[in-house]
Amino acid sequence: MHTLTSEESQALSAVRTFDELADVALSSLARMKCEHAEIVQICGPMSTGGCGDFQRNMARFNAAIEVALRHGVAVFNQVLFQKEVIRICNWKVGSPYPMELLETFYGRIFLSGFLTKGLFLPDWDTSFGSRWERKLLASLGLATDDYPAAWMDEVD
């Protein structure tokens, strides 16, 4: 299971920019890479699209991560960074999308070489961020697969 060290947790609480947030994420991913040949990121609606509600999207997202972990998948859990994402960008639905979040935080994660695949939740295409992620992953030659339907039965 992907967790943060006490040093990473402490650093996380002090970050002020998406670059600093990415630094903590990359530290965590580097540790994961020492233990796992393949690391997957679950991709899907969080703030836009999906269930149409941030809280319901996050509950579904967390459940999907837990199911993937039960199936033996090494998952980089970006939900661990969500509180700081919200704090840094203070974004509200209906406002222009915070592209710095995608380009700086997720961009650096995807460009790092630590991830091997993106697993996309159903309705991923209703999310601006998920569409951006899928396009970037494909352009980098990283696998993009749909989250297994059988696993979704365990999520819902």
Q: Give the other-Cβ count within 10 Å of 31's Cβ.
A: 16
pLDDT tens column, 38-61: 999 999 988 777 776 788 889 999
For residue 150, pLDDT beyond 80:
yes
Confidence of residue 67 (pLDDT cuts 50, 70, 90): very high
Q: Is 127 exposed, middle or buried, given 0-12, 13-18 or 19+ CB atoms closer than 10 A?
A: buried
Q: What's this model's pTM, rounded to 2 decimal places?
A: 0.91
pLDDT tens column, 86-145: 889 877 667 778 899 999 999 999 999 999 999 999 999 999 999 999 999 999 999 999
- Please report the pLDDT score of residue 84 as a whole number: 93
Q: Which residue from 31, 7, 13, 12 is spatially nearest to 22, judged by alpha carbons?
A: 12
Q: Bigger pLDDT: 67 or 46?
A: 67
For residue 1, pLDDT beyond 80:
no
Pairing of strands 75-76, 40-43: parallel
- Please report the pLDDT score of residue 18 as a whole number: 96
Domain boundaries, the chain: 38-155
Contact 142, 115 (CB under 8 A): yes
- Please report the pLDDT score of residue 106 as a whole number: 96
CATH topology for 38-155 is Rossmann fold (3.40.50)
- Please report the pLDDT score of residue 62 as a whole number: 93
Distances (CA, A) of 135 to 29, 36, 88, 104: 21, 25, 25, 15
